[in-house]
Structure 1
């Protein structure tokens, strides 16, 4: 499931409409939730100082000789820390 899809479903779950997400006739509503999720993610694309600081925390500790696997894990952690900062 993509981040857009997860966000759309989270919005749906928050509203808890009377229709089922998987209802074949609800494609227009699913599309609306996906577009809203895309708009929300686009709106937070630019980080604020708190989000930047959260991402920099891991980067400060990332050595130049670390393996690509560690870098991938750190990239995921940076993303999570930055999102946590945005939510905080």
Structure 2
């Protein structure tokens, strides 16, 4: 994975896939994740910067939205809680 350190990006479209950002600043940028490779952002700052999903990542978001609307809100909410680092029991799984 490529590493970019200590850079400031202004008014740019930044594709995140395959890149690790360390101590970077993004000012009025659009961060885009396509889901083709991993990414990491450590010690970075965002200033009026947006985030978008495209390609495979967008399809995953569409699936989660459809599941949420289609009667599986509990499962989607548990997934989001896991992303937040909360300990939750996924619906349909036995406790250990």
Q: More strand per residue: 1 or 2?
A: 2
Same-fold call, TM > 0.5?
Answer: no
- Band the TM-score falls in, shorter-chain normalisation: under 0.3
Which protein, 1 or 2, shows the higher relative CO under an 8 Å CA cutoff with sep ≥ 6?
A: 1
